[in-house]
Amino acid sequence: MSKIIGYQRNDNGTITAVINDVQLTQDELQLIDNGIALPIEVRSIDTNKITDKQRKKIFALCNDIEIDIGQPRDYMRYMFQEYIRVLYGYEKEISLSNCTKKQASQIIEAIIDWMFFNNITFTVKTSSLLKGDKAMLYWATVNRQCVICGKRAELAHYQAVGRGRNRRKIEHTSNKVLALCPIHHREQHTMGIHSFNKKYSLTDSWVDVDQRLNRLLKGQKLNQSWKEHWNGYV
């Protein structure tokens, strides 16, 4: 994607801009080399609109639901969009063609929450697409699913808590955690946290433990009210 990285205001009210990552043909480059100005049209992209990657995530997640339980993906997608509209009080119906990035993120998080809550299987392709997604990391941690390989995991702490301690009695707040299978957990301790993060691109992936996550990690069940949110939707 081309980006404007600098500009200068001209006396006639126009802007001279510096644009990088522009793709030009050989003929276009030859015109510029010969001193001929190349007419272009500049149009900025609304960065607040849903991205193609967000849209792909939503369709991939709903497709996984259809594969697992047979519920039509278009129906599920509409239900999640409507759920978010009602939950956050949006007046207009949400469309994936022009909704905001914030609304798309809310839909993705809701779908991931619902899938983990209902034990829906994530395909390898979808898991790869969601790598690094905060909602995915959060629920993988709660459900002890390794964020690297998807196998049954144990809780890794960014700040070591000491061996032999009962994880269900530890106050996890003020720490960061991640679900890692025993193999990857041992590798993390062997390599050291920073080298491990660099190898698997996990530097910004560790999950901050809030009070809700702390209760879940200590074995307390989800509040019933969370489940009731979905009544009448999916």
Give per-residue pLDDT as tens, 81-116: 999 999 999 989 999 999 999 999 999 999 998 998
What span, in angstroms and rounded, lies between the C-alpha atoms of 32 and 96? 40
What span, in angstroms and rounded, lies between the C-alpha atoms of 123 and 150? 10
What span, in angstroms and rounded, lies between the C-alpha atoms of 181 and 149? 8
Q: Identify the helix (H) or strand (E) that includes residue 17.
A: strand 15-20
What per-residue confidence (pLDDT) applies to 71? 93
Taking residue 201's Cβ as centre, other Cβ atoms within 10 Å add up to 10
Residue of 160, 172, 149 lying closest to 219 (CA atoms): 172
What span, in angstroms and rounded, lies between the C-alpha atoms of 42 and 52? 21
Q: Under DSSP, is residue 135 helix (H, G, I), strand (E, B) or coil?
A: helix
For the chain, the domains span 3-33, 47-129, 131-219
188-220 pLDDT, tens digit per residue, is 999 999 999 999 888 888 988 877 777 766 666
Residue of 208, 217, 134 lying closest to 174 (CA atoms): 208
> pTM above the 0.75 mark?
no
Which parts of the chain register pLDDT below 70? 45-47, 161-173, 216-234
What per-residue confidence (pLDDT) applies to 225? 43
Q: Identify the sign of the CA torsion 189, 127, 177, 151.
A: negative
